[in-house]
Amino acid sequence: MFSIPHTFANEDESYITIPALRRFAKEKGKEDLKTTVDRPQLIEDIEKYANQSGEKQEEVLDWLDQVLVEGIKDVQIKYLDDTLQVDLLENDEYVEGILNPALVDNNNCHLCGGNYTENLRLYRYEIVPESAQGR
């Protein structure tokens, strides 16, 4: 049975804001997802929605990833080793060869559902060819 981890659902932490919860409910347009209820009820309703099917659970997990990442303000760059060939960082296969071994669990590509520790770990990555920040 799916449930949003207490760390993220806890009102004191505000990882998931009321506007984000209401936006999800409004986008789904379902009668069982009302935008006029309070935060705890919205979270409970979204959990019920996720438990209706595997597809809906995946939908909620994808949404949670997006909402939680929007709230993350810190970026950590980890030094991998001194043999890093900077000139090859434009090569996707080279970058994947560095990042894939650092993945914690290839079967879990969502923030929710992992074992949480005080250590920052890589759970997913995406290589974006070009953006305002570069590659």
pLDDT tens-place string over residues 25-80: 999 887 778 888 988 999 999 999 999 999 999 999 989 988 887 765 555 555 55
> How far is residue 63's CA from residue 107's CA, in Å, rounded to a whole number?
18
Q: Which residue has the higher pLDDT, 125 or 59?
A: 59
The pTM (predicted TM-score) of the whole model is: 0.61
Cβ-based neighbours of 85, under 8 Å, separated by 6 or more: 94
- How many other C-beta atoms are found inside a 10 Å radius of the C-beta of residue 135? 11
Examine the pLDDT at 81 and tell me if it is beyond 80: no
Total count of residues recorded for the chain: 135
Burial class from Cβ neighbours inside 10 Å (0-12, 13-18, 19+) for residue 111 reads buried
Encode burial over 67-94: b for 16+ CB neighbours within 10 A, e otherwise.
Answer: bbeeeeeeeeeeeeeeeeeeeeeeeeee
Task: For residue range 92-104, list pLDDT tens digits in order.
Answer: 898 888 888 877 7
Give the C-alpha separation, 40 to 63, whole Å. 17
- The answer to whether 49 touches 28, Cβ cutoff 8 Å, is yes
The pLDDT of 102-120, averaged and rounded, is 64
- pLDDT score recorded for residue 29: 80
pLDDT for res 33: 87
pLDDT band at residue 120, thresholds of 50, 70 and 90? low
